[in-house]
Each structure stands twice: as structure tokens, then as C-alpha cells.
Amino acid sequence: MTEVKREVFGQMPQEEGGGVVEKFILKSDSVKVEILSLGCIISALEMKGRDGECSDVVLGFDTLEGYTRKHPFFGAVVGRVANRIAKGRFAVDGKEYQLFLNNGPNSLHGGARGFDKVLWSPQVLPNGVCFFRLSPDGEEGYPGDLKVWVTYTLSGGELAINYRAQTSKTTPINLTNHAYFNLAGQGSRDIYDHEISIEADSYLPVDNTKIPTGEVAAVQGTGFDLRQPVKLGKHLQKFHLDGFDHNFCLPQVQARRLAARARHPPTSRAMEVHTTQPGIQFYTGNNLDGSLKGKGAIAYPKHSAFCLETQNWPDAINKPHFPNALLQPGEEYNHTTWLVFNTA
């Protein structure tokens, strides 16, 4: 059985449109998740370790104020298009669109005020919560009225996140959750003692602004071969990598399949990521620099968390040979990601 509770988390500032931010607490026998109506943010996720001790394994803030200031999308649902669009430009049906540039020369995670910065309308379910919003035609430069539903359900150690959307005009869409994990417990210094594996035979090399070059490269014989578990710290050293911020290409079938695993041997905490999406962005918190203070006023330094963001491939709207990034009127965007937490 999953217990669902709701409570007030805070009040949005007037300049952000005001409104009450609620927190939804989903609790099973092994996992407790807290989710905000602001940005559908996973603000806490507690799981047991080998010793039965519970720890919060996601980065974030204790108060609403932290989330209304600039932060690197901690725990949020990002959209209308997650990841990067080159030069913030794309064309649909012969019409050019220009988006806000918020990541060097590119547009990232929906623009200046993406899905992570807005209030969603919640509906409590027996084992979770469904958030809805209408993204109006022209919001952040995107075409079409887009209706979006994000549903979180918890069953035992499995958190499912379902994304659905319908549009009035052809529009690019790519939704993901941007939770930052540290299975040693949030606030732990680094993730070097974590073991990571990703079920991908290929990945997307990127240019110096993190836009895919268009090549789909084999992981075989490279530092991107994570098909067998690697100890992250040693692996980064061995291949002289500063960290990962890359899309790994998954088999393109709409069925649920295992995409990645992370494990923290000292506590035996483990998580699996299953998805229907064609890609997963592995990011090792390279841009965290200790300047942000999170829960308990703890600083979050570089490599103190990892993200496994299930998604379409970055800049797919500008790369015809990448998986389709467009949603048409009359169709439904529908993807699910399952995060499975256990002690292994």
C-alpha cells in the first residue's frame, strides 16, 4: 500500500504570479518521495540502506525559496523540450522558430521560464499524484497549445513517472525529470564510489557547446562503454574524463526496458532506470561548484550527484536521422520512466 499526503510547502512570490505550492508525500514500505506542485519537483526521496537506515538520496532545498532562485533544475520536470536545441532554432512546416538562448549559444530545458518554474494543477490518486498544465501557444517561443499531464505513482520500491501531452499545432516535445542522485545520501562529497552501468551500444559525441555533432558513435573500446558496471571515480581517471554530460542511445522500441543501473556498494543502495524513451542523458554534476547550499545548508560540489535523464536525443528537431521529436495534433505523446530502488 502507498500512503499519499498533501501539505502546503510555501507561497510563490507575487512577481512569479503568486499561488500556493503544495508538497505531496508518497510513502511505501521501502521508499518515501516528496513532490512539489512547482515544476513537478522531486524534492526528497528516502530509501533504506543495507543497515535499514533511511537516507534522502536527491539534492534539493529545505524551503521554497531555494527552488524559486536560480538552480540547476534540481528534481524538476523540464520542457517543453528537455536538453539542448542548437542556436535555439528549428523549423516546423516551413516556419522558422527562435527560442530564448539560456545555455551559451543554445536553448536548454525549455528556455527562460520552462516547465520547471511554473505551478502545476495537482490531482491526488490512490497511489500517487497527477499534475496538469496547459502550455499556451507561443509560450517560450513554441507553437501550439500543449496540454501536459505528469503522473507519479509509487508501488513498493518502484516510482513510475508517466508523461502525456496533446497539442493543437505541430510542436517539438521532449519531457524528462532532472533529479540529482547520490545514493550515499544527498550532501555526500562525491559519487566516485558509485558503480554505474548503461545498456547502450552507442552514444552521441558533442561539440564544445554540448550539441550532438550528428554522429552516432559506438561505445566499444571507449570511455563511454558502460555496458558492464564501472566504478565511477576510477573510470573517469582511467579515461581522463572530466565527467559525463552525454546522451546514450537506447534500443528504439516503445516497450519498457532497462536503461541504466547505479549502485553504492558501501550502503548496498541501488537504483535501476527503466524507460520507453530512446535515450538517456548521463550527467555527473560537472557544473556544480560548491556555491549552492542545499538541504541542511550543505554545499554541493562538483561530481556530488549524478542524473540519469530519460529522453529523446538532444537537438533531434534539427537532426532528421535522430528519433522523431515532433508531436502532431490528434496524436498523444506518452512515455513512462520507472525508477526502481532497492538494496542489492
Report the pLDDT value the prediction gives residue 30, as an integer from 0 to 100.
94
Q: How many CB atoms lie within 10 A of CB 331?
A: 12
Q: Is 109 annotated as a binding residue?
A: no
Q: Indicate if the alpha-carbon torsion angle 324, 326, 330, 333 is positive or negative.
A: positive
Residue numbers of the domain that contains 237:
3-343
Q: Reply yes or no on whether the pLDDT at 253 is more than 90.
A: no
Count the domains in the chain: 1
Report the pLDDT value the prediction gives residue 146, as an integer from 0 to 100.
98
Between CA 212 and CA 210 the distance in angstroms is 6
Between CA 203 and CA 104 the distance in angstroms is 23
Average pLDDT over residues 32-45: 98
pLDDT digits (tens, 9 = 90+) for 102-155: 989 999 999 999 999 999 999 999 999 999 999 999 999 999 999 999 999 999
Confidence of residue 330 (pLDDT cuts 50, 70, 90): very high
Residue 226 cell numbers, joined: 558502460
CATH number assigned to the domain comprising residue 279: 2.70.98.10
Q: Is 193 annotated as a binding residue?
A: no
Q: Is 335 annotated as a binding residue?
A: no
Confidence of residue 16 (pLDDT cuts 50, 70, 90): confident
DSSP code per residue over 310-327 = EESPTTGGG-TTSPP-EE
Confidence of residue 254 (pLDDT cuts 50, 70, 90): confident
Average pLDDT over residues 217-237: 98
Q: Reply yes or no on whether the pLDDT at 252 is more than 90.
A: no
Q: Is 84 annotated as a binding residue?
A: yes
Report the pLDDT value the prediction gives residue 53, as an integer from 0 to 100.
87
Confidence of residue 344 (pLDDT cuts 50, 70, 90): confident
Q: Is 309 a catalytic residue?
A: yes
DSSP run (H or E) holding 280? strand 279-283
- The single residue of 109, 178, 246, 303 carrying the catalytic annotation is 178
Query: Under DSSP, is residue 141 helix (H, G, I), strand (E, B) or coil?
Result: helix
Report the pLDDT value the prediction gives residue 218, as an integer from 0 to 100.
98
- The single residue of 195, 272, 309, 335 carrying the catalytic annotation is 309
Q: Is 194 a catalytic residue?
A: no
pTM over cut 0.85: yes
